[in-house]
Each structure stands twice: as C-alpha cells, then as structure tokens.
A and B are shown apart, each in its own frame.
Chain A
Amino acid sequence: MKVMRVILFSWEYPPRIVGQLADYVKELAVQLVKNNVETYVVTYHDFLTGQRDELEGVKTYRVTNPVRTHIGVLTWVLTLNQEVERAAANIYYNASKQVDLIDAHDWHFIPAAVTLKKALNIPFIYSVESLEDQRSHGADSPFNMAIRSIERLGMHEAEKILAKSEWMRNEVFRIYKVPLEKVKVISPKSTNWMTDVLETYRSVAGGIISK
C-alpha cells in the first residue's frame, strides 16, 4: 500500500500545552509515524521551539502570527490561518503536490482547511475535541456565534467528522444537524484506536467525496 501523507492542524502542540489537545495530537502523530504514515503537524509557534523540527519522525511546522496586536482570540485565530495555509502549501509543493489528507483538530484552523480543500483538492477530517456551545454554555453573543459559524463551516465542508465519544457525536448532531453517518466515534482509550483512525484516514485520503 502507498504511503499516506497527512497534515495535522492543531493550535496547541507540545511544548505548547493549553488543554488536553496538545498531548493527544502528539500521541496521534507519533503513532501515525509508527504506522508508516508520513506525518506533518502545523501548529502555532510559541517561541519555545524552532520553526521546524522533526522529533520521533513527526515533521513539525510552527507558524507565528503576522499580526501581533489583537483584540481577542477570534481575530488572533483569523489572521493566523493564512500562515497555516502558507505552511501547508509549502508542504504540498515540496512534496510534489501530493498531500492525501488534512486532519484539523478543533475550529481554529478550519478556515485554512477549507481553503486548501477548495484550492488544492486536499480533503479534510474535522476532529472534535470540544465545541463552542459547550465551552460558552450556550452563550449567544456575536463572538460565540462567529466561532460557531466557523465550526459549522467545518462540519459542512469536512469529508468526515471524528468524535471522541458517543456523547460528542450526539452533540455534533444536536448543534449542527450533521447527518449521523458523517460522524464517526473513535475513542482514544479504545484498543482499536489507531486501527480505526487509519481506516478512517484511508477512506477519506486522496479524494473529495462531498461537493
């Protein structure tokens, strides 16, 4: 079987740890490499690390926000996305224009994933760690609505959505009315975790199914 080339998007990655996502994405990346997947991570540069490194076979690109002054996390995220696109495009062009899949973790880099899909036909998976509705307890300010609109865009444009529990799968359905068959549950605690991840990746890799 041909080697898959995958880019993971995450706004946190060790040593930058904000919540639970950083360690999860790290473990995912390392296990993917062990399973013969060429794995790149595009993440935020926290000034603790170099801009690029390769640890345990995982090629990491860290990008810095080109706009330093911000009025909130939303504007911060939205200007960071172009740098994520730049890093991903560099990977794509340096790898003879062949990236099989992007796995975007949470909402932050969904705009970049969508643009890369539309521009370069790279399909993406939206891996859900948490949702704005839960983080903000259903708050309905323009700020929350904006983040939800980005999550909704991701739900709509992704080839598959990965939830880490049945509960989250139902939340995705409840909030975004995504058809349940588009949402797959893969528990990080399950013994089949990596097998299921690889199987899902293979089902999506290399082709955009949805329009």
Chain B
Amino acid sequence: MTRELTVIMLTWEFPPRIIGGISPHVYYLSKSLARNNVKVYVVTCDFPGAPQHEIVDGVEVFRIDSYKNPSPDFATWVYLMNVNMQKEAAALVNSLGGKVDVFHAHDWLVANAGIGLKHVFRKPLLVTIHSTEIGRRNGIHFDYERMIHETEAWLTYEAWKVICCSDYMVSHVRWAFGLPEDKVVMIPNGVNAEEYAKTEKDHLSRFRGKFALPEEKIVLFVGRLVYEKGVHVLINAVPKVLEKVKAKFIIVGNGYMKEQLSNLVKNMGLAHKVLFTGFVDDETLRKLQKCADVSVAPSLFEPFGIVALEAMAAKTPVVVSDTGGLSEIVEHDVTGVKVYANNPDSLAWGITRVLLNDAYANRIKTNAYEKVQEKYNWNKIAQRTKAVYEAVLNECSKSVWA
C-alpha cells in the first residue's frame, strides 16, 4: 500500500495523563507508527496544563473535555466521558473529510466511542485488550462488574481484530469472551531500551550508596504492593538468600498490602535489609533498575509482566515466577531465571543462582538485552501493528461496507 494509512487512536490516558500501562503503551505505539508512515490522531482525555491540541513526536493529539461533573460511579463516568470523546472524534473525522482508515481503541474505557464511530463512518474498529474485568477481579461477582465485563465483550464483538500483548492474554480473552481463534492477534508489549541507555551504570555509585552498602547486592522489586504480585513470597525468601550472600532488598511501589508487608518484615527482624521506597519518579526508577544486581518478579498472576522487560532493557538479570506473560518473556537459563510461583525456596534459589555466579548473570543479561532489542522493540511492534491494519483494510475492501 503506497497511500499513507490514517488511524484514530482512542485512549482514556495519554502522557502527561498517566494512570496505568495504557498511557505509555499508546504513546510509544503511536510515535513508532508515525515513524512507519502511519498518520496517527490520538483522541484522549484532557489533563491540567496539557494543551487541547498538540503534535507530539509526529502524532496529533486531541484532548477532550472528560466530563468534570461528579459522577455516580466510575463506570457511569466512563460512559459519559465517551459521549464527549465520540462527539469530538466525529467532528475530527468529519473535518478530515472522512479520510480515516481505522479506529483503534484501547480497553473498554473507550468502547462506546469506538463502536459508535465505526458505525457512523463505516470504518473498521480494532481493539487492544490490555486487561479484563474478570481477570482484575478474579471473577465476576456483582452487576457492576458484569456490566463492565459485558461492555468488554461487546467491544471485542464489534472489533474486526482483537490485539493482545501475550499468548497468555490471547487464551484468556478467547476464554472470557468466546472469541474465534482468527479474530485475536498477539503483538507483544514493548520497552524503550534507549531510555535506559542514557544512564551508565558506572556513574551511579553515589546514587547506589543511598540505598545499599557497597558490599551488599541489590535485589529489586517493582510493582503494586498487592497480593497477586507475590511480594510476600519475596519477603519470605529474604532469610534464605541472606544465608548465602549479603544483599539489600528494595521494594518500589505502593498498594493495599504495604502495611501488612512492612509488619511482616519487622517481625522477621529484617527491617535493615528490606527497604520500601513507595512510588518513585521515572528517573529514580530507571537508575534503580540499572543499579540492581537482580530484578525479581515473583507474581502469582501476571497478564504481561512489563517490569521484567524493563529490567532486561536496563541490562539487569531477572528472576521471574513461571506464570502468565512472564513465562513467555523469559527463557530459563537463557534470558533469565524462572522459579516456581508462590514458592520462597525456589525464589531464593533463583536469586542466589544469579548473585553467586557473575559469569552466569552476565550471560543471561546479555541474552536478555538482545531479546528485548529483537522482539520487544517498539519499531517492530509498530510494523506488526501496521501489518494488522493493512490486513484488516484488505478484508474490509471486499466487504459490503466498501
């Protein structure tokens, strides 16, 4: 296809509005698509201080009034915000003379807008499902959750193709919404290795000194402090690691289990060995990821596992539990260490395996970095996404809507 492709990206978050993983995902994807000759318009919620219209790295961003009145609940706010988003996106597409090829929605938060636009303009809709209500809540228990679940199902029903970031999510989404195999495409999430290349590890000794003694190895955990992330498993592994090697455990993030976890640490007499930092800014986080001697992801449930990729991009060896998306990212003994989920002995074994063998650690982190460049590279992800757009347009050109 020689003509430039045009896509309208619909997302409830885009930098500087960052709530979760969708915001950086859409940012890097849009930017990389633009570099691959795709014209991208992002329609997203407004944010204090951010302009209503701007061009960011070749991507045109439109920020809509995201409904500021108090709302009865979060889901109702989402549907009301969609009224505005759909209205503004419709006006945008009209102003472009309808010359838009596809609508690309991210999660149920923009379901209504995406579906409505598809029908009024008769252009194909694609969706990336980052997460599901049934997965987040570990089941559907109330009408409120069921309404969101059915909205997600409706979105996947209306979408021409559903993109998921891991094979695990592909099978989860197919199970949750009963989708046919050929409707779901796996395109991995990406990581921007360049961000980590900016800081050299050798220049970080003063920074490192704020967190650990020179003789201590740094074991890093990054994530929300919630049950499914398995931080308690890591804490139970601490004494087993300390039997073999001097180390400091740094836990970055917040969550409802924070108090419980810090009490556990105190009661185990490990307060001097385990440091809770809470939320940290991006720069501090990147520096910590670079300083760490090992990064751990001891999750019990994990749709994708972006933290493992970030550690790999930071050239830090990773130890992950063999579950969900993490299982796919890491190849045992090649690009990292896989351990049994929910098993402190296995986790301690994995951590010491890395910390006590520098040659091994160097080998897996080098392999991991190459893997990140090759597979989780945003440019390649954008090319694969563009190929999906083109395949959909080709199919659409033979449909009754053509």
- Interface, chain A (partner B; CB < 8 A): 66-72, 74-75, 78-79, 81-82, 85-86, 89-90, 93, 111-112, 114-116, 118-121, 141-143, 145-146, 149-150, 153
Number of A-B contacts (CB under 8 A): 103
**Residues of A contacting B48 with CB < 8 Å?**
none
- Alpha-carbon distance A63/B86, docked complex (angstroms): 20
B138 within 8 A of A: no
A71 and B143 within 8 A (CB): yes
B362 at the interface (CB under 8 A from A): no
**B94 and A121 form a contact (CB under 8 A):** yes
Distance from A63 Cβ to chain B, minimum over Cβ atoms (Å): 11
Assess whether B122 is interfacial by the CB under 8 Å rule.
yes
**8 Å CB interface, B21-56 against A:** none
Over the window 106-122 of chain B, the binary record of Cβ atoms lying under 8 Å from chain A Cβ atoms (1 yes, 0 no) is 00000010011101111
Cα-based distance from A14 to B93 in the complex (angstroms): 36
Asked if residues A115 and B147 are in contact (CB atoms below 8 Å), the reply is no
Q: Which residue of B lies closest to A157 (CB)?
A: B87
Given A143-B72, A145-B69, A149-B69: A115 and B120 within 8 A (CB)? Answer: yes
Given contacts A79-B112, A85-B119, contact A118 B94 (CB under 8 A): yes
Given contacts A86-B116, A146-B72, 9 further A-B contacts (CB under 8 A): A68-B150, A70-B143, A70-B147, A78-B76, A79-B154, A82-B112, A85-B119, A119-B121, A150-B83
> Which chain B residues in 114-135 approach chain A with CB under 8 Å?
115-117, 119-122
Interface residues of B in 144-167 (CB under 8 A from A): 144, 146-147, 150-151, 154, 157
B73, CB-defined interface residue at 8 Å: yes
**Interface residue ranges of B298-318 to A (CB < 8 Å):** none
* Contact-size category for B: 35 or more
Q: Are B143 and A81 in contact (CB under 8 A)?
A: no
22 A-B contact pairs sorted by A residue (CB < 8 Å)? A66-B150, A66-B157, A67-B150, A70-B147, A71-B73, A74-B79, A75-B147, A81-B116, A112-B116, A114-B83, A115-B87, A115-B90, A118-B87, A119-B90, A119-B121, A120-B120, A142-B69, A142-B76, A146-B69, A146-B71, A146-B80, A149-B67
Chain B 59-85 per-residue mask, 1 if CB under 8 angstroms from chain A, else 0: 000000001011111011001101100
Q: Chain A nearest CB: distance from B12 CB in Å?
A: 15
Determine the chain B residues whose CB is within 8 A of the CB of A85 once the complex forms.
116, 119-120
Cβ distance B154 to chain A, nearest Cβ, rounded Å: 4
Closest partner residue, chain A, to B68 (CB atom): A149
Chain A neighbourhood of B88, CB < 8 A = 118
Partner of A111, one of B70, B73, B86, B144: B86
A116 partner residues in chain B, CB cutoff 8 A: 120
Asked whether A69 and B82 contact (CB < 8 A) given A82-B116, A119-B93, A142-B69, the answer is no
CA of A167 to CA of B136, assembled, Å: 51
Q: Is B91 on the interface with A (CB-CB < 8 A)?
A: yes
- Residues on B with C-beta less than 8 A from A90 are 119
- CB pair A74 B76 closer than 8 Å: yes
Q: Chain A nearest CB: distance from B179 CB in Å? A: 16
Contact A145 B82, beta carbon cutoff 8 Å: no
Which 10 pairs from chain A and chain B are nearest by CB?
Answer: A78-B79, A119-B90, A118-B90, A86-B119, A142-B70, A69-B146, A119-B120, A118-B91, A82-B116, A111-B83
**Chain A: CB-nearest residue to B92:** A118
Main secondary structure of the interface of A (DSSP, over half): helix
> Which residues from A are CB-within-8-Å of B151?
67, 79
Once the chains bind, are B119 and A67 in contact (CB under 8 Å)? no
Residue on B nearest A121 in the bound complex, by CB:
B94
CB within 8 Å for A89 and B119 given contacts A75-B75, A81-B112, A111-B83: yes
* Contact of A67 with B154 at beta-carbon distance under 8 Å, contacts A78-B112, A118-B94, A145-B70 already known: yes
Question: Do the beta carbons of A78 and B83 come within 8 Å of each other?
Answer: yes
A residues in contact with B69, CB < 8 Å: 142, 145-146, 149
- With a CB–CB cut-off of 8 A, which chain A residues contact B121? 119
A69 close to B150 (CB less than 8 A)? yes
Q: Does B80 lie within 8 Å of A78, measured CB to CB?
A: yes
Which residue of chain A is the closest to B122 with respect to CB atoms?
A93
Contact B71 A82 (CB under 8 A): no
CB distance from A151 to the nearest CB of B (A): 12
Measured in the bound complex, the distance between the Cα atoms of B79 and A114 in whole Å is 15
- In whole angstroms, how far apart are the Cα atoms of A74 and B71 in the complex? 11
Are B93 and A75 in contact, with the CB atoms below 8 A? no
CB–CB A72/B72 < 8 A: yes
A82 touches B115 (CB 8 A): yes
By a CB distance below 8 angstroms, the chain B residues around A69 are: 143, 146-147, 150
Separation of A142 and B69 alpha carbons in the complex (Å): 7
A142 touches B120 (CB 8 A): no
For B152, give the chain A residue with the smallest CB separation. Answer: A67
Q: Name the contact of A142 in the complex, choosing from B72, B94, B112, B122 (C-beta under 8 A).
A: B72
**Minimum distance in angstroms from B215 CB to a CB of chain A:** 57
Residue on A nearest B147 in the bound complex, by CB: A69
Closest to A74 in B: B76
Enumerate chain B residues within 8 angstroms of A75, measured Cβ to Cβ. 75-76, 79, 147
